[in-house]
Amino acid sequence: MKSFFVISTLFFMVAIQSQTHRFIYGLQYKMDSTETGYEKLNMILDISPKEVKFYGQNLLATDSLNKKFGTNNSHTDMSGLVVKRKINTFDNENFIAIKEGYYSFKTTDKISWVISDETKKVENYTLQKASAQFGGRNWTAWFCKDIPFNEGPYKFRGLPGLIFELSDSRKNFIFNLVKSQKLSGIYSTDNFVESNFGNKAIPINEKQKYKLITDFYNDPFAFERNNFNKANTNLKININGKEIHTVDELNTQTKNMQEVIRKYNNPIEIDKAVHYKP
């Protein structure tokens, strides 16, 4: 945990019912479980009197810049970790981008923790160890009883104190609390959680989500392919900086994209991973 992380216990004991408490977690994660290196993001946990939200800091930064300068920029969080829930529940609304679409679906994600007697000191805080199985992975959390929130990153909650550190046994996902803030009032995320900078989330269920993902994998350039089929003359399409002139070239790009999708198929809930066919 970084040395600049400071929390005052008194900070949490006052005005809990009228504030948003923001916690910033550093996330290291592997898009490909066989790799040694990590992708790194900062993620935000907002706890308000009625709701809890978890999302990427880049979403907040884009929204803030839009409001400050009157711009209309967008950002898509591809971590797959954007969720919100009613306070004190395990009922999550998940938000996900698939191709150009933005969707939401609901899940109930009960987590049963086993709390250990093992403790450790991090700066001035005493952390206690807990473990759980969730999403097909084994997790270890270190939480602080002195911080009166039973919340943590993503869907991990239900411990008698705030989660400071969290990781799975294979170290594919590592969360560390690095900073806290107190906000006056409720911070609106309408522009970047409930919608994606103008595209309001379309409610679906998990079965529909699976179909959307597999349809995208089967033909990731379906729109471009449709344009080829409709064109009466030679058509040039740019994909990732490469000009595509023929259907054969498009098929090659499709196979390349499918290889990338299969390679980076390491979601946090591995038991819900899509099993792609080569």
What does the pLDDT look like over 248-260, one tens digit per residue? 889 999 999 999 9
Across 200-215, average pLDDT: 97
Instruction: List the Cα angle 152/182/24 in 5-degree steps.
Output: 40
Distances (CA, A) of 107 to 49, 129, 155, 202: 21, 26, 10, 15
Where along the chain do its domains lie? 9-200, 205-272
Residue 32: strand, helix, or coil: coil
Please state whether beta strands 101-108 and 202-203 pair in parallel, antiparallel, or not at all (unpaired). Answer: parallel
User: pLDDT tens across 98-118, in order?
Assistant: 988 999 999 999 999 999 999
Confidence check: pLDDT of 223 > 90: no
Q: How much is the mean pLDDT over the chain?
A: 91
Percent with pLDDT over 90 in the chain: 79
> Residues 216, 274: contact at Cβ < 8 Å?
no
pLDDT of residue 200: 97
Q: Which fold has domain 9-200?
A: outer membrane lipoprotein receptor (LolB), chain A (2.50.20)
pLDDT at 233: 54
Per mean pLDDT, which range of 64-78, 130-144, 228-242 is the poorest? 228-242
Tokens for 260?
Answer: 């990338």
CA separation (Å) from 128 to 103, 138, 142, 189, 203?
Answer: 37, 17, 5, 32, 38
Contact 150/157 with Cβ under 8 angstroms? yes
CB 143 within 8 A of CB 170: no
Q: Give residue 18's pLDDT.
A: 66
pLDDT given for residue 247 in this prediction: 85
H/E stretch holding 92 reads: strand 91-98
Determine the pLDDT at residue 3.
40
- Looking at per-residue pLDDT, the higher value among 261 and 245 belongs to 261
Dihedral, 109, 75, 178, 67 alpha carbons, nearest 10: -120
- What local confidence, expressed as pLDDT, does residue 4 receive? 38
Res 8 pLDDT > 50: no
Query: What is the pTM assigned to this prediction?
Result: 0.91
With residue 209 as reference, give the H or E element that holds it.
Answer: helix 206-218
pLDDT score recorded for residue 237: 80
Q: What's the pLDDT tens digit per position in 128-170? A: 999 999 999 999 999 999 999 999 999 999 999 999 999 999 9
pLDDT at 212 over 80: yes
